[in-house]
Amino acid sequence: MKIIAASAHQQGLTGQNDPKTLELGNDADPMDANLDGITRIDLHFPKFTDGRAYSQARLLRQRLQFVGEIRATGDVLIDQLVHMARCGFDVAVLKEGVDAADAQRQFDRFASFYQGDAVATQPHFAQVGQGAQ
């Protein structure tokens, strides 16, 4: 997962006026979105306790087979990053004042998982078994 600072996102990395970027509201159903020509979807976390963007990301990856970038914006906390990546997010925009190095350490702590997820759909034992063949 790519991690960027809030200031970098605000200084021109936002998808405003970009026809290939879709900013999907928390109350929007991804199944109703027209994804023709869309290469990036920004999903917003208004509060860290609001998890609707997780469900949206998973729907985009698994049911709609969206292969473009899914970006987490808003109240993004370090301890949520690993779960975001497992739900299908590619990029996380950190809150102001959060250190990117601290965020990257989360991925070092949790290198693999037993269950499948939105990105690696097979469980760990099936992945290991395929690599041994």
Render pLDDT for 73-100 as a digit per residue (tens, 0 to 9). 999 988 888 888 888 999 999 888 888 8
Contact (CB, 8 A) for 2 and 91? yes
**Cβ within 8 Å of residue 32, ≥6 positions away:** none
Closest to 87 measured CA to CA, from 51, 114, 111, 123: 51
Number of domains in the chain: 1
CATH number at residue 44: 3.40.50
* pTM (2 d.p.): 0.77
Query: Domain range spanning residue 61?
Result: 2-132
Average pLDDT over residues 42-54: 91
